[in-house]
Structure 1
Amino acid sequence: MHLAAATLLALTAGGGWVPAPSAPWDTPAGARCDFAVHGEPVVDEVVKRVLATHPDGSARTVAYKGDLVVRVSNTGTGASYDADASGSALITYGTDGSQHWKVAGPVLVGFAENGGTLPRGLYIVDGLYTLDVSASGYKTLKMQGGSVDALCERVD
């Protein structure tokens, strides 16, 4: 097993987990795909555990794990795809709004136009990777191994 995956699994073991439900979401045409998109969890068993806090008590490092399947739908045509986003993540939250993700497995990630290292779109990123989100929202994806699945193409 890769060291990062072993570390992530070790950090996500144990108790203290609480539900971390995902809310349904909508994006207008052009924001992520050329058409309007609706996302709706159809399986959501995600839990989280706060591992460290900032001096003000806000969460600094949080582990997430659990089954998550999101139905991604083209609201114009009704075409949909059930995306498995059941990865495990260790997220460090900066006090400036930035985030650093260490991920094992699939996660659904959206990129705005000129908003990161992938073109505008919705993706299932699977494998071992990090995702840095700047305070301005720019996303930098660094893959150690894995794949990227373009969801806009699946529901076009």
Structure 2
Amino acid sequence: MRRTLLAPLALGAVLLGTQPAAAHAPGWESASATAGPTAPRWEPAPSAPWDVGAGVRCDFPVHGEPVVDEVEQRVLSTHPDGSVRRVAYRGDLVVRVTNTATGASHDADVSGSAVVDHRRDGSQLWAVRGPVLVGVGEGRGSLPRGLYVVDGVFTMDIGADGFKDVRLVHGTTEDLCARID
């Protein structure tokens, strides 16, 4: 199994065009005047099993279920109302993707890391390093309808309407629908 480390916040800053969370951002507490700031804690961020019907992502119904799930999240900053603004994710995640019509399955290693900006309008900007699982509906993204492992260094801008614009800086896409057809 592949293990990817969380990209430094500097990578997120470069990909997002913003600055890393400052030491005095919400969620950072000063341990003492001499010890410096204490980072927010990493917390488990488990993935739930999911199902999509035929034609939604693949031509057939698909079930996804984590078989390894060690994903953690760390809130890096919040909006003034306390809602999450920026969060980092890391950890091993392997999802068994199954064609429920035939039983064909594949264990997809999607153990990437990401820094996600949650915008006030409900949209999100992901700065990603390593593989993640991306599902795209018909006409709902820069990739054709499907279910993909997108691996490499890339951004994914998810509009408030759910449109997913994946922009690879360097990487690959693997079509899971073709793999389990």
TM-score (norm 1): 0.92
- Deviation sequence 1:23-57 (CA, Å, 0-9, x none): 00000000000000000000000000000001111
RMSD: 1.5
The residue type paired with residue 110 of structure 1 is G
Rounded Cα–Cα distance in structure 2 between residues aligned with 1:130 and 1:146: 11
Distance in 2 of aligned mates of 1:93 and 1:57: 12
Deviations 1:88-145 (A, max 9, x none): 0000001111000000000000000000100000000000000000000001011000
In 2, the alpha carbon distance for the partners of 1:53 and 1:85 equals: 26
Look up the match of 2:43.
18
Count of residues paired in the alignment: 150
Partner of 2:97: 72
Q: TM-score, normalised by structure 2?
A: 0.80
- For residue 120 of structure 1, the aligned residue among 137, 142, 145 is 145
Q: Which residue of 2 aligns with 1:148?
A: 173
SS at match of 2:177: helix
Per-residue deviation, 1:8: 4.2
- What is the SS of the residue equivalent to 1:152? helix
Alignment partner of 1:137 out of 151, 162, 165: 162
Trace 1:50-65 onto structure 2 (pairs within 5 A).
50-65=75-90
> Partner amino acid for 1:55?
P
CA distance in 2, matches of 1:9, 1:113: 29
Greater CA radius of gyration, 1 or 2? 2
Q: Secondary structure at the match of 2:178?
A: helix
Between the aligned partners of 1:104 and 1:29, the Cα distance in structure 2 is 30
Contact 2:116 2:125 in 1 (8 A): yes
Q: List alignment gaps of at least 5 residues for structure 1.
A: none
2:122 is matched by which residue type in structure 1? G
Aligned-pair distance for 1:9? 8.2
